Structure 1
């Protein structure tokens, strides 16, 4: 017997995304305040993870930062270090990932299937990853 399963259309959760972006902004704002343009600092956790935070651009209403995992002694062979570019919107108090692992201009929703093999909610997932990464860094 064959069941025809109708896929439900994905709806971007804008309110949830904004809540997460607001929390990410609150955590990143403190770092950005300490950095001038092209300055960087390295965050180190006891688990030997090192994350470099570099300010790429600072304007009255926005700041662009780059977060790169520079070292982790427990890293698995064949994995790539994490590289994110994040824009902070100071007037709205939101932060969003603008590039991840070299992919720029993430769409809110990707059709399935797609040429680049992005998940339907790739943008949300990348920002969720940033949120969880910042929580990990905050704990240490």
Structure 2
């Protein structure tokens, strides 16, 4: 016979509540990301297909993030962007973002070859996703776009030269 101390005896399982998904919050986050992308990438509406810039506070360009954004697919209602960043000799994960022009929303559809996330995961899980992985990735995208907007600067090859003459 096995003896269980009183506090370790199995208790009936409480009714599990379904996970709460903040759909309005997620949709508003995707809307904000859409506008953040258009502010960060001038010419996106006019058909431009490539951007490159640096972001960071370092005085040495090698220590800053080098960001490249390219349009990989364009349709009447959607645009797909590949976003990659690197620093020195280190390559960071690649992000694929889809813009939905009719809904004016943007969301991450792939992160370093991971895609098709569920709205909620039990934790722990085999891939160690967060319980709200999809929301967390889109929240990260918003913070990252804000960082690039505040601390980014254009690469010289993307700038037009303007000749100024003194009078």
* Both proteins in one fold, TM over 0.5: yes
TM bucket (normalised to shorter chain) is 0.7 to 0.9
TM (norm. structure 2) is: 0.69
**Aligned in 2, Cα 1:139/1:8: closer, same or farther, shift over 3 Å?**
farther
* 1:83 matched residue in structure 2: 94
* Residue from 103, 117, 124 that aligns with 1:92: 103
Q: Bigger CA drift: 119-128 or 100-109? A: 100-109
Unaligned runs of 5+ in 2: 1-6, 58-63, 152-167
Match of 1:130 in 2: 141
TM-score between both structures, scaled by the size of structure 1: 0.81
| Cα displacement (A) at 1:40 | 2.2
Does 2:57 correspond to 1:41?
no
Shift of residue 8, structure 1, vs aligned partner:
6.0
Matched, 1:60 2:71: no
Matches of 1:70 and 1:34, distance apart in 2? 27
| 2:33 corresponding residue in structure 1 | 24
What runs of 5+ residues in structure 1 fail to find an aligned partner? none
1:110 positional shift: 1.4
CA contact (8 A) 2:85 2:91 kept: no
SS at match of 1:26: helix
Q: How many residues align?
A: 133
1:51 aligns with 2:67: yes
- Name the residue aligned to 1:12: 21
Q: Deviations over 1:85-114 (max 9, x none)?
A: 110000000001001121011111112332
Do the aligned partners of 2:119 and 2:132 also contact (CA within 8 Å) in 1? yes
